[in-house]
Amino acid sequence: MSVSVSKKASNRSSQPTTIAWRYYVVLAIVTLIYGGLLARSAYIQIIEPDMLKKQGDMRSMRVVANTVQRGSIIDRNGDELAISVPVETVWADPKIIMDNDALSMTEHWQALADVLGQDISKLTTRVVRHPSKRFVYLERKISPAMANYIRELKIPGIYLSKESKRFYPTGEISAHIVGFTNVDDKGIEGVERVYDQLLTGIGGSKHFRKDAQGRKIEILSVEAPQEAKNITLTIDQRIQVIAYQELKGAVQAFKATSGSVVVADIHTGEILAMANSPSYNPNNRRNTAIHRFRNRAITDIYEPGSTMKPLTALTALEFGSAKINTIIDTNPGWMRLGGRRVNDPINRGKLSIEEILVTSSNMGTTKLALSVPKNFLLDKFFDAGFADDTGTDLVGESSGMMHDRPRWSKFELATLSWGYGLAITPMQLARFYATLANGGIKRELSIVKTEQVNEGVRIFSQANTESVMAMLETVVDKHVKKAKVAGYRVGGKTGTSFKAVAGGYGNDYVGLFAGVAPISDPKVVVVVVINDPGGDLYHGGEVAAPVFSRVMKGALRVLNVTPDANEKLAHDNTVINNTVIKTIDELRVSALEANDV
């Protein structure tokens, strides 16, 4: 009995201890939970509140973009070369399509596939592959007629959105200048790429908050769009058409690999036309060979051949080792320099500088080149810009190939003097002849119209360049009659060069002609390059000069330049009449003196 009483007393004494221990454990757990919640609340609201704000904004805030249409590219007269036209894009919402069992509308899907020019199985696979996605492109930038047809199909989950598409009204004629954009309207080639940022502009946007019913309850901000800029080129599309058509015809007629034409304003450096053949259609580039995209007038380099002989003659005049009336003895018609032979086709004997250019004498040109110090000769070639780009800023422009090495043999200097041992672009050649024509002032060429005056820098004296220009007129009058333009005085020089291959030169040619008109007041320079003509005719005077004549004729007429050939004829007749009168007077005086005796 006493034992049981003691056990009960013992249980009573230990019971409060057990209850207190459990109480403190529960209290600690509750305290930790509330402490954790408090800490989490403090962390979310004080330290990192952006997450909740972001989630709230995602539910209530919306942004509407205000896109800007890409700017236009126009020529100097305002004719459109690149514009943006409204189109629509077809896209699908796979989730809605699957929820509405729209794929069961077989005939409608077949009609959709037919109008898009796609296989129906591939079209539906793009939808089935991602059934939970909310956006899949089906076709970008379709015509309004196609869009209306698709809209009438009324397929659940198929939608149309408005976009713009680039269109090039001039097609292949100006393709290499203007370039093109990709499907997202980003410039890829030509002016489209160089001035992509200006043409694109910056789209605007409107930020607003909506309620649960989708109604606008607050406009948060409005960003005004920055309108895209239009680009005005220096190109005259009328001259561009003439240049391209004449070049394309010549490349086909002479079975050439390619060709280029550059037309530029002599006094401003503005490019009036720049054509290449073969070209491409920028509105439909599918299955177009990549090499057709190349703007050969600025990317391809050629050894310019005899078109460099006027520069050599000018260099001798500038140094003073030759005068206008200097006679160069080319006998016996050949010479050896360091074991290498320099020769003319025949022994031309003694030649004036003008006759050297008319006959295109390698012997005469070599002797003029060797009459000046090496560094002076090389400096003049570098001054002419044959190691620099022309300033157009077009993508891919080559700076040519002009070696800047300390050691040059006499034979290397000789070949340089008649256009071998360097390689330049048609654009560089045009800039040099423009420099000759405007009195020795070199200007950068430009493709975009600007109000800034292109002052240029003088690299040759005016007197010597005018003398060389007079010689180039004689070259055309006496030697390259195919380059003449009816009614105008024309000066220029042909060039024919072998194409370099590994280890030397092959059997392919490049025919060139560079010239200016009118000589009395030079306005326009035209350069024509016919690459690798495949027929029996390959000399520059045969394949390039006729193209020059027709392009120059068209350009002068478009620019309304007054003919000057009659002025020269009248001047020559006056000189002849004065000479005859003077001779008659001298004979009369002689007769009177004889009678007096």
Catalytic residue positions?
306
Q: How far apart are CA 126 and CA 161, in angstroms?
A: 19
CA angle 407–512–343, rounded 5-degree value:
50
Kindly state the helix (H) or strand (E) to which residue 327 belongs, with its residue range: strand 327-329
| Residues in the chain, total | 597
Task: Indicate the DSSP class of residue 43.
Answer: I
Q: Which residue has the tokens 């780009």?
A: 389
Long-range contacts, 188-196 (Cβ 8 Å, 24+): 189/293, 189/295, 189/395, 190/295, 190/394, 190/395, 191/73, 191/82, 191/231, 191/233, 191/394, 191/447, 191/448, 192/73, 192/82, 192/166, 193/395, 194/393, 194/394, 194/395, 195/229, 195/231, 195/448
| Separation of CA 546 from chain center | 26
CA angle 534–537–543, rounded 5-degree value:
95
Helices and strands (H and E) in the chain: how many: 21, 23
Helix-helix angle 462-478:309-319, to 10 degrees: 140
Q: How far apart are CA 413 and CA 416, in angstroms?
A: 5
Q: Integer distance in angstroms from the first to the last C-alpha of the chain?
A: 194
List, in sequence order, every residue forming a beta bridge with 335; answer none if it has no partner. 342
**SS3 (DSSP) at 451:** coil
Q: How far apart are CA 135 and CA 90, in angstroms?
A: 10
Give the burial class of 39: count Cβ atoms within 10 A of its Cβ; 0-12 exposed, 13-18 middle, 19 or more buried. Answer: exposed
Which residue, among 238, 261, 239, 236, has the nearest Cα to 248 in the 3D structure? 261
* C-alpha distances in Å from residue 308, one per residue of 369, 430, 506, 540, 575: 11, 12, 21, 13, 33
Give the burial class of 352: count Cβ atoms within 10 A of its Cβ; 0-12 exposed, 13-18 middle, 19 or more buried. Answer: middle
Q: Which two tokens stand for residue 433?
A: 């002849």
> Using an 8 Å Cβ cutoff, are 242 and 555 in contact?
yes
Give the burial class of 280: count Cβ atoms within 10 A of its Cβ; 0-12 exposed, 13-18 middle, 19 or more buried. Answer: buried
